[in-house]
Structure 1
Amino acid sequence: MTVAEESHFGRAATRLGIAQPPLSQRIQRLERELGVRLFERTSRHVTITKAGTLLLDEARELIARSEALKATALRIRKGESGLLRAALPPDIAGETVAAILADFQRLHPGVTLELHELSTAQQLDQLASHDLDVGLVHHPCDVSGLELGPVLRRELGVLLRRDAPAATLAEVPLAALTGYDLILFHRSGAPALHDDVLTTCARNGYTPATVRHGQGASFIRGLILSTNAVAFSPRDAHPAHTADQDPDITWRPLAGLALTWRHSVAWPQGRSDAAVSAFAEAATRALRGTAAASAEPPPLHLRPAAEFWL
Structure 2
Amino acid sequence: MAVAEESHFGRAAARLGMAQPPLSQRIQRLERHLGVRLFDRTSRQVTITEAGALLLDEAREVLARSEALMAAARRIRDGETGLLRAALPPDISGETVAALLARFSAAAASGLELELHELPTAQQLEGFAAHELDVGLIHHPCDVSGLELGPVLRRELGVLLPGGAPAAALPEVPLASLTGYDLILFPRAGAPAVYDDLLTTCARNGYTPPAVRHAQGASFVRGLVLSAEAVAFSPRDAHDPGAGADPHGTGRGAEAVASPTGRGVVWRPLSGTPLALRHSVAWPGGRGDAAVAAFAEAATHALRATAGALPDLPSRPLHLRPASEYWL
**TM-score, normalising length: structure 1:** 0.89
Unaligned runs of 5+ in 2: 246-255, 259-263
1:128-207 matches, within 5 Å, as 128-207=129-208
The code of the aligned residue for 1:262 comes to R
- 1:302–1:292 distance in 2 versus 1, CA, 3 Å: farther
Is the deviation greater in 166-175 or in 237-246?
Answer: 237-246
Change (3 A) 1:55 1:181: same
**Match of 2:312?**
296
Amino acid at match of 1:184: L
Per-residue Cα deviation, 1:164-221 (whole angstroms, up to 9, x for no partner)? 3332322222122222211100111111111111111122222211111000112112
Q: Which residue of 2 aligns with 1:18?
A: 18
Greater share of helix: 1
The equivalent of 1:100 in structure 2 is: 100
How big is the shift at 1:283?
Answer: 1.5
Task: Report the Cα offset of residue 132 of structure 1.
Answer: 2.3
What SS does the aligned partner of 1:292 have?
coil
Aligned equivalents of 2:43 and 2:319: distance in 1? 78
Secondary structure of the equivalent of 1:256? coil
Structure 1 Cα separation of the partners of residues 73 and 193 of structure 2: 40
Residues 95 and 290 in structure 1, CA contact (< 8 A), matched pair in contact too: yes
Alignment-derived partner of residue 273 in structure 1: 289
The 10-residue stretch of structure 1 (143-152 or 227-236) with the greater mean CA deviation from structure 2: 143-152
**Matched residues in 1 for 2:63 and 2:286: separation?**
34
CA spacing shift, 1:242–1:302, aligned 2, 3 Å: farther
Superposition RMSD in Å: 2.4
Matched, 1:90 2:90: yes
One-letter amino acid matched to 2:98: A
Paired amino acid for 2:306: T
Q: Distance in 1 between matches of 2:228 and 2:36?
A: 85
Q: Counterpart in 2 of 1:236? A: 237
Query: Cα distance 1:65–1:46, how it changes in 2: closer, same or farther (>3 A)?
Result: same
Partner of 2:119: 118
Query: Deviations along 1:7-62, whole A, 9 cap, x unmatched?
Result: 22222222112222222221221122112222233333333233222222221111
Kindly tell me the number of residue pairs found equivalent between the two proteins. 307
Is 1:258 the counterpart of 2:258? The answer is no
**How far apart are 1:92 and its partner, in Å?**
1.0
Q: Measure, in 2, the Cα distance between the counterparts of 1:118 and 1:281.
A: 19
The one-letter code matched in structure 1 to 2:63 is: I
The corresponding residue for 2:215 is 214
TM-score (norm. length: structure 2): 0.85
Letter in structure 2 aligned against 1:255: S
Alpha-carbon displacement from aligned partner over 1:222-262 (angstroms, at most 9, x marks no partner): 21222221111111123387228843332221121021101
User: Does the 8 Å CA contact 1:159/1:251 hold for their aligned counterparts?
Assistant: yes
The offset of 1:142, in angstroms, is 1.9
How far off its partner does 1:303 sit?
4.8
Query: Aligned equivalents of 1:55 and 1:131: distance in 2?
Result: 44
Tell me the distance in 2 between the aligned counterparts of 1:149 and 1:14: 49
- 8 A Cα contact 1:239 1:246, kept in partner: no
Q: Which amino acid aligns with 1:260?
A: A
Letter of the 1:281 counterpart: E
More moved, 75-84 vs 218-227: 75-84
Task: Decide whether the 8 Å contact of 1:242 with 1:250 is kept in 2.
Answer: no
CA distance in 2: counterparts of 1:54 and 1:218, whole angstroms:
72
Does structure 1 residue 75 correspond to structure 2 residue 91? no
SS at match of 2:189: helix
Task: For 1:206 and 1:52, locate their aligned partners in 2 and report how far apart those are by CA, in whole Å.
Answer: 86
Distance change >3 Å, CA 43–CA 90, structure 1 → 2: same
Shift of 1:94: 1.8
* More off after superposition, 136-145 vs 125-134: 125-134
Give the secondary-structure state (helix, strand or coil) at the position aligned to 2:305: helix
User: Can you list the C-alpha shifts for 1:129-182, whole angstroms capped at 9, x where unaligned?
Assistant: 333222211111222333222111001111223333332322222122222211
Give the aligned partner of residue 287 of structure 1.
303
Distance change (3 Å), C-alpha of 1:96 and 1:240: closer
Identity across aligned pairs (percent)?
73
Contact 1:185 1:213 in 2 (8 A): yes
